[in-house]
Structure 1
Amino acid sequence: MSLAAQNSSVERIIIPNKHGQKLVGNLHQSGITTDVVILCHGFRCSKDTNLILNLAVALEKAQISSFRFDFSGNGESEGSFQYGNYWTEVDDLHAVTQHFRESNRVIRAIVGHSKGGDVVLLYASKYHDIKTVVNLSGRYDLKAGIEERLGKDYLEIIKKDGFIDVKKRSGSLDYRVTKESLMEVLGTNLNEVCPQIDKECRVLTIHGSSDEINSVQDAHEFAKIIPNHKLHIIEGADHAYNNHQDELLSVVVCFIKETIDQNKGTAS
């Protein structure tokens, strides 16, 4: 048994968000350090997604504790699923960071995949209390992909009916898009928001060159506008890094370890 395995444990933690809904997560405690990294899942995913689980395990092996949780309306957390909901998820993440600060933990980094990548960037633009952010395959233009998901006439339909129902392949209801949630997505501009990230905040964007969901060009756009930014493209990787997990995990862990080494003895 490795030293990391000997000194690690997983604890289920429930944290209320600002609406009183219970956010459910798992704390992977590694060693005796108070450092913790927060892991954020993507659209229609959960804390138990392979990529998020693999990140938690890789951080454990590096003796870094992490917390992976479900946003409200996802996974085990309370609330109903809402399309968009970016700023609500930012609020959920803030509830989590506040919980760990009150528990005298030092939050060394926030990491998000896909939609979670956008959430951690939005968080960093609003709250300047985290000095390391990792954006995995985030989408630069949130309007991109809406037509593909909701149909060409989505604006006319939502103006007429007030909602659009997205169906599963089986024909059953997957989720409902309300006018309010759609307008939030259309009104959230990463190009305007990202330059508000503190210059002291180190941001790493990782993206696969063969990402079929969010184009690798999105990563290059982030690199242009985020003040303190590092870009890492993984050649041949798809959106979930299915055949490139080792490189992904290595780059993320090394970046976070650099931060911890640079900031030893200081709070985030």
Structure 2
Amino acid sequence: MIKENIIITSTVHNKPITADLRYISTNDKKPLILFVHGFKGFKDWGVFNLMADEFAENGFIFMKINLSHNGTTPEQLTDFTDLEAFGNNNFTLELADLKDSIDYLFSSSSIVSTKEIDLNNINLLGHSRGGGLILLKAKEDPRVNTVTTLAAISDLSKRWPQRFLDEWRAKGVQYIENKRTNQQMPIYVQLYDDVLNNPDRLSIPSAVKEMQQPLLAFHGTEDETLPVNMAHQIEKWKPDTKLVILENENHVFGATHPWEKNDLPQAYKVIIKKTTDFILYEAEK
């Protein structure tokens, strides 16, 4: 299996987008899956490398990215060492990162041979906030062939209670505890302003209603972060959504970080199998 680490240059800011690609070289064109992590997430979290290997074994090129302002750096890919970047992250920046990542695949800079990649079969996969992000991106980028979400957020504008918003505006910053690292992670009020200033572009309900791509959505019934009702909302907005509700699964589908086993949790095996079948089926239609 070929595994390559790359850095993608942003067109709108000076932060790098770190990424990795893995696939089995066959000189046959393969569909690509671009994976986007969620809030307080990163591309090498928990089981994501094992998941990437499984998709590669299934005949895909699998690409994972660290969004530029997620708090990691190229030198420390699994630690939040750049909290200032984390605090200054917003959804417009993340959409730009996704565009740059897709553009990279079509550019002369791409390390993937055109003999290996099917540029007509680019598929997005995202977890949590990353799931909401790819729903937004699919609406505005016709190069995206299918979308698969894992425990996706369904609405960015209704995420915070009013008391939180009032305090956020007064202080200019709120701190969110990372329970795994015990870090107090800043979120500057510019994140909320980004939502207020871009109501059309950052509306997940509108994007889902308008998106043309096939959608597969996974959600666990015991999701403690984003309730399973969010998945039902998405299906309501796009009735042809293929919705898979996983009983007794939490927000990360039974995974943890670090993940020290060599085998994936059962939920991820289901996710990989159903996503593989979904993408291949849609490609053949």
The TM-score by the shorter chain falls in which range? 0.7 to 0.9
2: CA distance, partners of 1:92 / 1:154: 28
Q: Give the structure 2 partner of residue 208 of structure 1.
A: 220
- For each residue in 1:86-115, what CA deviation from the matched residue of structure 2 results, as whole angstroms up to 9, or x when unmatched? 221111011011110124442431100111
> C-alpha separation between the residues in 2 aligned to 1:121 and 1:168?
26
What letter is aligned with 2:23? Q
Give me the whole-angstrom Cα distance separating, in 2, the residues matched to 1:30 and 1:20: 32
Q: Of 172, 177, 185, which aligns to 1:162?
A: 172
Secondary structure (helix, strand or coil) at the match of 2:186 reads strand
d(CA) in 1 for partners of 2:85, 2:250: 29
Q: Provide the secondary structure at the position in 1 that maps to 2:85.
A: coil
Report the alpha carbon displacement of residue 29 of structure 1 after superposing the two structures with TM. 2.1
Aligned runs of 1:48-87 on 2, under 5 Å?
48-74=44-70, 75-77=72-74, 80-82=85-87, 85-87=90-92
The code of the aligned residue for 2:134 comes to V
Matched, 1:127 2:141: yes
TM-score by length of 1: 0.83
Cα distance in 2 between the residues matched to 1:196 and 1:45: 28
1:26 counterpart = 2:4? no
Would the aligned equivalents of 2:90 and 2:190 in 1 still touch at CA under 8 Å?
Answer: no
More divergent stretch after superposition (225-234 vs 207-216):
225-234
Which residue of structure 2 lines up, in the alignment, with residue 218 of structure 1? 230
**Which residue matches 1:140?**
154
Shift in Å, 1:145: 4.8
Deviation at 1:255, TM superposition (A): 1.5
Which whole-Å CA distance do the structure 2 matches of 1:169 and 1:12 have between them? 29
Q: Which amino acid aligns with 1:123?
A: K
Return closer, same or farther for 1:172/1:205 CA change in 2, 3 Å cut-off: closer
User: Percent identity among equivalent residues?
Assistant: 22
The amino acid across from 1:28 in the alignment is R
Question: Equivalents in 2 of 1:166, 1:157: separation in Å?
Answer: 13
Cα pair distance change 1:82/1:122, threshold 3 Å:
farther
RMSD, aligned α-carbons: 2.6
Contact 1:84 1:185 in 2 (8 A): no
Distance change >3 Å, CA 257–CA 58, structure 1 → 2: farther
Once the two structures are TM-superposed, the CA of residue 170 in structure 1 deviates from its matched residue by 11
Residue 234 (structure 1) aligned with residue 246 (structure 2):
yes
Evaluate the alpha carbon distance shift between residue 169 and residue 202 of structure 1 in structure 2; reply closer, same or farther with a 3 A threshold: closer
* Aligned-partner SS, 2:23: strand
Asked if structure 2 preserves the Cα contact closer than 8 Å seen for 1:210 and 1:238, the reply is yes
TM-score in terms of structure 2 length: 0.78
Looking at structure 1, the residues matched to 88 and 15 of structure 2 have their Cα atoms a distance apart, in angstroms, of 17
How far has the Cα of 1:168 moved from its partner?
5.2
* 2:269 is equivalent to residue 246 of structure 1: yes
Tell me what 1:4 maps to. Answer: none
**More deviation in 82-91 or 122-131?**
82-91
The letter for the 1-side match of 2:237 is: I
